[in-house]
Structure 1
Amino acid sequence: MKLIPISLPPQTVSLGEKEIFLRFQADRRHPDWVVLHSLDLAEHVRLQRSEADFVVLIPGHGIVVVEVKGHALVRRDAHTGQWCLGQDPPRSRSPFRQASDAMFAVRERLVRHHHRLGALQFESVVVFPFADFRVDHDSSEWHHWQVVDRQELNARPLADCLVHALHCAQRDAVERRGRALPRSMSAEDCEEARSVLRPQIGEAPLDRTRTQRREEELAQWTGDLTTLLDAVWSNDRLLLRGGPGTGKTGLLIEAARRAFLEDGSPPLVLCFNRLLATSLQGALGECAQVSTLNALVSQLDFAAGARGLAARRASGEFRPAQTLIIDEAQDVMHPDACEVLNLCVEGGLQAGRVLAALDVDHQNLRCEATSLSTQTLLSSYVSVDLWNNRRNLPRISATAELYSGFRPWRHTLRADDGVRARTHYGARLDMIRILGETLTALHSEGFGPQDIVILSGCRPPDSLAASPEIQELRLIPYDVPSTNQVRYTSIHAFKGLEAPAVILTDLPHGPDPQRLMLVGLTRSTARVHLLVDRPEPFRQQYLRSAT
């Protein structure tokens, strides 16, 4: 299938949309299909502005508009008729009406371009990837073929569901309503519809060949990791060990989704970094309860320590999770925390269902060493060692090894694009100009503001990006949501995350600059620029082993 855009925008927060996007992306049976994601409908038939989650152009068949509801629970109040989707406030507007309105808006747009496109078969479908649709199927508001729920998705491919919906809609139109047989969609119709609808998306002028190759590589390695998880999933206690970029967090996300489907309740997912927790919650939605360790302690009021929590658990005031998932375990599982975590999962850390990922050797930025008791505990877990770098391009991973002195990987799996990491030297005042030039260069390559992050070795308020002299660049802190401004934060705060383009500033810094450099460089999936305003300390710190 041809997906437009070829990758999910960073601002996509719907877990349901991500799930359906990945299903389309994994489809290899329909190379001539075109899937438009998040199609802006400025001329919506009922709303001034709306969007269609997916518009699928199917040569030989027709056009399907797909509305995705990624909630774990779906019901309609029998008395009020209102829809209750997960934890969202009740709404009177049916998701089927929402999908139908979007379909008619798409049809109107195409017919206005050329009336012959109106003779194609159109249909709308609502997909509930994480819920079983138990609302009565005989409602006059929708047809049974317009519902694709979790059970249906498990029974057959999504593509088959969409073709089935078009066939049923066509038969209904001809046999029951006496309409003329819709015209089959030709390859020319598909290309024309794509050319009409695609400008509605507002894509940036990216180098699509390069970007598509990058996304296909990342998708391939993600699939390989999923296969690996299949092989070890039967073990209740798993330990994922690997350097940066080896896929630990991606595996934990997949594990959380599986645990939710199997347990019927959200697993507890813990990490250290607040930004990582926000990202994980966005990826998992209602499938997991995500928290940092500090936020969990604050939320549950552990002032009385583990004994107090044990008393609350015994009284039923606190219920442990059936599955505990820990990212950044080297930062989370210190002895005091383990005493509390032991009570947060049924069976405890030694007998419960626990999955942890850690990198003690290369990303332990906060603890001097993992305690002996924690090491003993984790030694009883089934270990999965991840040795291949799946995130970084070869020249970036080579730069990370050169500057840090570490060798975290056996292989870097991605293909070389011929672009090296760039290091810029200059005085502090020069850095303002160099940063502006670097941003301009990245924009000219097609990287948008949402693709770029500036990471510092020091606290964000003390960094180059926060200096008053640089206000004309309109940089903002990373925790401020934005799609049209470049954001900045510290390497510490960004650990566990990634971005297409990374700019590193304010190095060397901190008690362990080698690990800091490794973490910073390996955040990038495409481009790295280092801005060095203290050349001599930089060379002494990072290049001594290379001379």
Structure 2
Amino acid sequence: MARMIPVYCAESAPPGEKAVFSALRDVAGAEHWTVLHSLGIAQHERQVEGEADFVIVAPDAGLLVIEVKSHLSVARSSDGAWRLGQDPPTVRGPFQQAQEAMHSIRDYLLSKRVELRDVPILHAVWFTGVRARATLPDSPEWHSWQVLDSSDLPSAVRAVERVMREGAQHLASTIKYFGFGGFGPDQANAERIVATLRPRFEVVMTAGDRRQAREGQLAQFVEEQYRALDSAADNRGVLFTGPAGTGKTFLAAESAQREVAQGRTGRLLCFNRLLGHSLGEKLSDIVGLRVGTLHKEMLRLADMSGPPANADSDFWKRVLPELALEGLAEQSAEEVGDFLIVDEIQDIATDTYLDFLDLLVKGGLRNGRVLMFGDFERQAIYGSDRAREVLRSRAPHLASFRLSENCRNLPRIGYQVNLLGHLAPGFREFRRSDDGIDPTIIKYVRGEDQAAILRKIVGDLRDEGFDLTEIVVLSPLADSSVAASTSDPWLRQVLSPADRSKPIKGRLRYATIHSFKGLDAPAVVVTDLDDSGGPNFDALVYVGLTRATDRLTALVETKTLRRLIGGEA
């Protein structure tokens, strides 16, 4: 079986692509091949953006670009126009499409200084609905070995090997000394080719599915996250751990989309209400996926429109889970999903909550398709210190994958978090390039009104070009925070609690650190950092500081800052 990237073929893919995908994935003899499906070509030689249906990288054989045509009829007119099924006639035929994609990919690899000497780089067209090898006439525009058809699907590996072998022989006969020492790439160079091409196509949507991929904003993975997705594909259950900013929520959302793309149904649950709402909005059009918070799902299954007015800790931790279990027992089997994905598992891993989660997925936590994402170092501001131990006792067969590369924060923000959050070993690798702007740490005296400082900070950020909607003010305090209680006229006019709605033009959002966990903003101002303010203070500092992607300002009480940095302030 070849290594398929991505590991699934979307439901929306044409039938021919699905057939070729299955033919290459499910047969022996291609164990060393890597097959890239739907390779987006941003630097296409002819179009603004193009796509290669399949790119096969085979060690000691070459690189083959395949254009797939699913049509049940194929004809070439005397005027040179192609007529494929019911599609309008076109002069730009499938062989030209494949050739342009091949040249674009080769040029891109060369621009990245990938060694391609003696590597056959070939193109072909696979007509999956017709016997094209027998019916297409000879033409100077293509070689007979560049044609694959429906008869090749049962023996896909042999068919591809035939194309690569005859294509390499053609190049050797026309290019002096080509392949004189054998055909490449070797295994190491094949891996480099895959690693170079892979970021060109593996994308995640901020909203929608693959059909909207070219209409929305794209976000690239880092190589560590590719390996994480591979781990999710190779194991029945996986626990992904890592500090803030390593892309856990990003991966949880992409994993959910991949599960649904393979025809499964299930849930993506988290702990934080604002994060649950954000994920729900981004994944709202994914049919077969239920997204929300653990407590919202419990309320739904308990047939409750909301919590009682006097809901206390006992209600959330004992009463509601029991009611939800009773409600689940009365529901149909359709409530039990094919998969379960949980973000912020560090805040959810209690025996009571795990009893509930165990019944949401076929096979339960022990044997079901379960993907968990959590930060057990500093972000467990709701859960217990035993969260990981409890989870392991209930799901002992979860494979482990640790994420370490910071994908959210600029490096200088990450290094500041290392210092004030006492992270060991702390953030060391960052995806984003530094812009040379240090985070700002401002001391204040306990009891001092921070409003004037906050107003100046916001003004400076606006002068730098940040819109009010890009700035968020966070605090470990709720009603007594500087943002919630200020009497400053301008601040009172622009400040607005961060709720489920999107940022409003001209408004400056504020929230507690607790409620903003799992989210981020371009510019974050953390106020009221005073270690006399309550429990889990160090964890709150860590969570608050890591919310900023580009600009971080922290207002820290003088004695607290001295303690955090471990010296005189």
Normalising by structure 2, report the TM-score. 0.56
Which of 430, 440, 451 is the equivalent residue of 1:432?
451
Q: 1:24 to 1:513 in 2, by over 3 A?
A: farther
Equivalent residue letter for 2:540: L
Aligned to 1:525: 549
Equivalent residue letter for 1:485: R
CA deviation profile, 1:66-120 (whole Å, cap 9, x unmatched): xxxxxxxxxxxxxxxxxxxxxxxxxxxxxxxxxxxxxxxxxxxxxxxxxxxxxxx
Following the alignment from structure 1 to structure 2, what is the Cα–Cα distance between the partners of residues 304 and 396? 39
Q: Please provide the CA RMSD for this pair.
A: 3.5
- Report the CA distance between 1:30 and its aligned residue: 4.1
CA deviation profile, 1:132-187 (whole Å, cap 9, x unmatched): xxxxxxxxxxxx879xxxxxxxx99xx99xxxxxxxxxxxxxxxxxxxxxxxxxxx
Is 1:487 the equivalent of 2:509?
yes
Following the alignment from structure 1 to structure 2, what is the Cα–Cα distance between the partners of residues 32 and 485? 44
Following the alignment from structure 2 to structure 1, what is the Cα–Cα distance between the partners of residues 477 and 449? 19
SS in structure 2 of the partner of residue 365 of structure 1: coil
Following the alignment from structure 1 to structure 2, what is the Cα–Cα distance between the partners of residues 279 and 304? 23
Following the alignment from structure 2 to structure 1, what is the Cα–Cα distance between the partners of residues 470 and 464? 11
Following the alignment from structure 2 to structure 1, what is the Cα–Cα distance between the partners of residues 320 and 416? 47
Aligned to 2:416: 399
Q: Name stretches of at least 5 consecutive residues in structure 1 with no aligned partner.
A: 1-15, 17-22, 35-55, 59-143, 147-154, 161-215
Which of 456, 463, 472 is the equivalent residue of 2:481?
463
Aligned to 2:498: 478
SS in structure 1 of the partner of residue 487 of structure 2: helix
- Report the CA distance between 1:229 and its aligned residue: 0.4
Greater CA deviation, 372-381 or 333-342?
372-381
Aligned to 2:260: 260
- Report the CA distance between 1:457 and its aligned residue: 1.3
Alignment of 1:494-533 (within 5 A): 494-508=516-530, 509-532=533-556
CA deviation profile, 1:251-290 (whole Å, cap 9, x unmatched): 111101011111343x211111000001111221132211
Aligned to 1:297: 298
More helix by share: 1
Aligned to 2:401: 384
- Report the CA distance between 1:377 and its aligned residue: 3.0
SS in structure 1 of the partner of residue 522 of structure 2: strand
Alignment of 1:57-456 (within 5 A): 219-222=219-222, 225-226=225-226, 228-265=228-265, 267-287=266-286, 288-301=289-302, 309=325, 312-313=328-329, 316=332, 319-371=335-387, 372-407=389-424, 408-427=426-445, 431-456=450-475
Equivalent residue letter for 2:440: R
Following the alignment from structure 1 to structure 2, what is the Cα–Cα distance between the partners of residues 221 and 424? 34
Asked if 2 retains the 8 angstrom alpha-carbon contact of 1:270 and 1:325, the reply is: yes
- Report the CA distance between 1:248 and its aligned residue: 0.8
Q: 1:247 to 1:470 in 2, by over 3 A?
A: same
Q: 1:531 to 1:264 in 2, by over 3 A?
A: same
Following the alignment from structure 1 to structure 2, what is the Cα–Cα distance between the partners of residues 357 and 301? 26
Normalising by structure 1, report the TM-score. 0.58
SS in structure 1 of the partner of residue 534 of structure 2: coil
SS in structure 2 of the partner of residue 483 of structure 1: coil
Following the alignment from structure 1 to structure 2, what is the Cα–Cα distance between the partners of residues 378 and 392? 32
Following the alignment from structure 1 to structure 2, what is the Cα–Cα distance between the partners of residues 307 and 425? 48
Percent identical pairs in the alignment equals 33
Q: 1:33 to 1:545 in 2, by over 3 A?
A: farther
Asked if 1 retains the 8 angstrom alpha-carbon contact of 2:273 and 2:293, the reply is: yes
- Report the CA distance between 1:423 and its aligned residue: 1.3
Equivalent residue letter for 2:454: L
Structure 1 stretches of 4+ with a deviation exceeding 3 A read 23-27, 30-34, 218-224, 302-315, 426-430
Equivalent residue letter for 2:453: I
- Report the CA distance between 1:305 and its aligned residue: 5.5
CA deviation profile, 1:218-269 (whole Å, cap 9, x unmatched): 944457524540354131211101111111111111101011111343x211
Following the alignment from structure 2 to structure 1, what is the Cα–Cα distance between the partners of residues 519 and 320? 34
Q: 1:470 to 1:24 in 2, by over 3 A?
A: farther
Following the alignment from structure 1 to structure 2, what is the Cα–Cα distance between the partners of residues 268 and 493? 22
Following the alignment from structure 2 to structure 1, what is the Cα–Cα distance between the partners of residues 506 and 47? 31
- Report the CA distance between 1:470 and its aligned residue: 2.9
Q: 1:312 to 1:504 in 2, by over 3 A?
A: closer
Following the alignment from structure 2 to structure 1, what is the Cα–Cα distance between the partners of residues 324 and 297? 14
Asked if 2 retains the 8 angstrom alpha-carbon contact of 1:504 and 1:530, the reply is: yes
Equivalent residue letter for 1:449: L
Following the alignment from structure 1 to structure 2, what is the Cα–Cα distance between the partners of residues 449 and 468? 18
Asked if 2 retains the 8 angstrom alpha-carbon contact of 1:476 and 1:487, the reply is: yes
Q: 1:519 to 1:307 in 2, by over 3 A?
A: closer
Asked if 2 retains the 8 angstrom alpha-carbon contact of 1:222 and 1:250, the reply is: no
The number of aligned residues is: 350
Asked if 1 retains the 8 angstrom alpha-carbon contact of 2:525 and 2:552, the reply is: yes
Equivalent residue letter for 2:524: V
Asked if 1 retains the 8 angstrom alpha-carbon contact of 2:407 and 2:430, the reply is: yes
Following the alignment from structure 1 to structure 2, what is the Cα–Cα distance between the partners of residues 304 and 244? 29
Aligned to 1:29: 43
Equivalent residue letter for 1:523: R
